[in-house]
C-alpha cells in the first residue's frame, strides 16, 4: 500500500458545525502533515506530527485541532470555521531517519472544504 | 532562509512542443529537490526528485538536474502531451519542512 487516503473528499459545513477530516497511511511513515491549499496557490504547512507527537504548528488558529491517535492515522478537527477557511486540505506522510525527513512526501488527494 | 522561485505561468504549448519550467532555490546546506504535479481537482503527486548535486531525476519523460553552481532544478520534457496539462510545483526539503514554489500552470493544446 503506497497511498495516503483522505476522507471525506468533499465537505460542506456551517460556521457553527463541528466536523473532522481523516487521513490514513499504511506505509510505516512516522511523519505526517496537514497542509492547506487555496485556489491557484501552493500548499501551506499547518501541522507536522513526528512519531505521533506534534512537532510543528505553523501558528494555525485554534479552530483547527489536529490529532494523531496512532502511527497510521491523522485527524483534523474543525470547529467554528469561517468562510475564508474554505480550501483544499491535504494530508501527507513521509519516512523519517534519525529525526530527518527523507525523500519527500506522499500526498493524499485532499478534502475540499466549503464553509457556508 | 530557504525559498524556491519558479517561473510565472501560465505556460501554453502545442502538443509535441519542448517544455522548460525554470526553478531556482535559496537554501542553507544541501537540500533535496523535488517536482510535484497537481492535476485539476486532485492532490499533489511526486513527479521526480534529486537528493544531491548533479543528480538527474526523471519520470514519465520529464527530467530535472540538480545544479548546485546555479542553484537550479529546471524541469524539462522533450515532447509534451495534452495529458501533461497541470500545475507543476518545484520544492525543496530542508529538515522537516517541504517548501514549495508558487506553481506553474501548464496548458497543452492539440
Contact between chains at B95 and A105 (C-beta distance less than 8 A): no
β-pairing, B62-65 with A64-70? Answer: unpaired
pLDDT values of chain A reduced to their tens digit, one per residue, 116 residues: 679 999 999 999 999 999 999 999 999 999 999 999 999 899 999 999 999 999 888 889 999 999 999 999 999 999 999 999 999 999 999 987 666 666 778 999 999 999 99
CA distance A108 to A92: 6
Instruction: Note whether A105 contacts B98, CB cutoff 8 Å.
Output: yes
A103 touches B at CB < 8 Å: yes
- Per DSSP, the residues of B74-94 read -EEESS--GGG-EEEEEEEEE
Distance between CA B108 and CA B12 in Å, rounded?
6
Question: In this predicted model, what pLDDT tens digit does every residue of B52-100 receive, in sequence order?
Answer: 999 999 999 999 999 999 999 999 999 999 999 999 999 998 777 789 9
Round to whole Å and give the CA distance between A6 and B8. Answer: 30
Q: Is the Cβ of B93 closer than 8 Å to some Cβ of chain A?
A: yes
Amino acid at each position: 500500500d503506497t497511498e495516503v487516503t483522505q476522507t471525506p473528499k468533499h465537505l460542506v459545513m456551517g460556521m457553527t458545525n463541528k466536523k473532522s477530516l481523516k487521513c490514513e497511511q499504511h506505509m510505516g511513515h512516522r511523519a505526517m502533515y496537514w497542509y492547506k491549499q487555496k485556489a491557484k496557490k501552493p500548499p501551506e504547512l499547518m501541522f507536522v506530527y513526528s512519531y505521533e507527537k506534534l512537532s510543528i504548528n505553523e501558528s494555525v488558529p485554534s479552530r483547527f485541532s489536529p490529532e494523531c491517535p496512532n502511527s497510521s492515522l491523522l485527524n483534523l478537527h474543525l470547529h467554528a470555521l469561517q468562510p475564508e477557511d474554505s480550501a483544499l486540505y491535504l494530508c501527507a506522510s513521509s519516512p523519517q531517519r534519525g529525526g530527518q525527513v527523507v525523500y519527500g512526501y506522499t500526498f493524499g488527494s485532499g478534502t475540499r472544504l466549503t464553509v457556508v | 532562509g530557504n525559498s524556491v522561485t519558479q517561473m510565472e505561468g501560465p505556460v501554453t504549448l502545442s502538443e509535441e512542443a519542448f517544455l522548460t519550467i525554470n526553478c531556482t532555490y535559496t537554501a542553507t546546506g544541501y537540500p533535496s529537490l523535488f517536482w510535484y504535479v497537481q492535476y485539476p481537482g486532485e492532490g499533489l503527486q511526486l513527479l521526480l526528485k534529486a537528493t544531491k548535486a548533479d543528480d538527474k531525476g526523471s519520470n514519465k519523460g520529464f527530467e530535472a538536474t540538480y545544479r548546485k553552481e546555479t542553484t537550479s532544478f529546471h524541469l524539462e520534457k522533450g515532447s509534451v502531451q495534452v495529458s501533461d496539462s497541470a500545475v507543476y510545483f518545484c520544492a525543496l526539503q530542508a529538515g522537516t519542512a517541504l517548501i514549495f514554489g508558487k506553481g506553474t500552470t501548464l496548458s497543452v493544446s492539440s
